[in-house]
Amino acid sequence: MSLYFHLPFCERRCRFCGCHVVATKRREVADEYLSYLFAEIDLIASLLTHRRRVVQLHWGGGTPTYLSPEAMEQLFARISGPFRLDEGAELAVEVDPRVTTRAHLDLLARLGFNRLSLGVQDFDPKVQEAIGRGQTHEQTRELLTAARQIGFSEGINFDLVYGLPLQSVDSFRVALDKVVALGPDRLAVYSFAYVPWIRANQRKIDENELPTAEQKLELYFTAYEQLTNAGYEPIGMDHFSMPDDELAQATREGRLARNFMGYTVKPASAALAFGISAISDLASGYFQNVKKLSTYYRALDEGRLPIDRGYLLDRDDELRRYVITEIMCNFRVDKRRVEERFGVDFDDYFALSLKKLDELREAGFVEEPDGLLRVSSKGRLFVRNVAMAFDRYLDEKLKQRPMFSRTV
């Protein structure tokens, strides 16, 4: 299985952030949270009579390195007690260069963490000021240098965001040049989701300073061009890695997988998530924890799983999830494999979905050679649009107020 731990604390919240965050400088709040996180670990472990093998562990946030090294070590000990981490398991943590110390990095290396993900967003000072980030290029470079000296010689990821206020193609080119010079092993280049009706912190952003949809597309094309020219290979949606990285190798071999933690070569049949707002994927359904600290604490005080809501999958959900995942990971679907696995005639079952692909097919973005549905190399920029054709819930969602980021 995979394990995810949501550590939601930050000293202050960035204006662009769409994550579930608790902004506070009172470290004792995090200490109380950890005590309840330990209780959730014990409760879930007691329900698992035999499934304790872990191939992937991820700490996300918030800012996991908001915790002291001592608190992080305590958390790791509580996890590795009831759960068995495989030799060679992927151990990943999100780190903020503004608060991560050498002591944090030394501890993470000693515990066996082998992947670091650094939030960068953009190096332009004006953009940083507009999003309330205040993270300099020097801070990022210093953390990267220290991490490599300690032993994180590979497995360092940068997160970039396009569509932020005051971003321009010229300024983003400069930022991308700085990123390439630092040479992270992987990059995630995300579209900024401006949803102020959901995230109140985004109301502090001046909407007039945001790029238009056309400008956002140009920003992404700029990133795609510069990163591929620098030797990075496109991986699934929004991700890039060096050719010798295991993600690139898995993409070429058609065995890339994906879960809530991102792309991986270590697929698991279950992903358990701990902490407020965390979402578990147990193959048969999705289950999300409560979002408020007080509600989370009350559930665990009463000996209950702190689950707020869930969705059980029917057979059609499982079939569509498989097809969509194959498209988003490996840019192709083997129709015969789908037919053998689910007992359906692919073209007949997905007749409506295939009809929705007509325009993309005519543009040369989708191909169907000999039993395959394949996204062409030039169509990979629009892989989301291909996957959307197989989402039976999307039409209904689009009738409601748009809640999430669009494909551009």
What distance in Å separates the CA atoms of residue 381 and residue 224, rounded to the nearest whole number?
9
Structure-token match 């946030």, residue found: 61
With a threshold of 0.95, does the pTM exceed it? no
CB 276, CB 6: distance < 8 Å? yes
- CATH number for the domain whose boundaries are 2-264: 3.80.30.20
* CATH number of the structural domain 315-399: 1.10.10.920
Confidence bin at 11 (pLDDT 50/70/90): confident
d(CA 373, CA 380): 13
285 beta partners: 312
The residue with tokens 């929004």 is 238
pLDDT tens per residue across span 262-307? 888 888 889 999 999 999 999 899 999 999 999 999 999 999 999 9
Instruction: Tokens 């997160």: give the residue.
Output: 159
Contact 164, 130 (CB under 8 A): yes
- Residue 401: per-residue pLDDT: 52
pLDDT tens-digit map of 326-336? 999 999 999 99
User: 3-class SS at 312?
Assistant: strand
Per DSSP, the residues of 137-151 read HHHHHHHHHHHHHHT
Over range 23-32, report the average pLDDT: 91
Residues contacting residue 70 through CB under 8 Å, at least 6 positions apart: none
Nearest-10 crossing angle of helices 137-150, 102-111: 40
What are the structural domain ranges in the chain?
A: 2-264, 315-399
Place 404 in a pLDDT band, splitting at 50, 70 and 90. very low
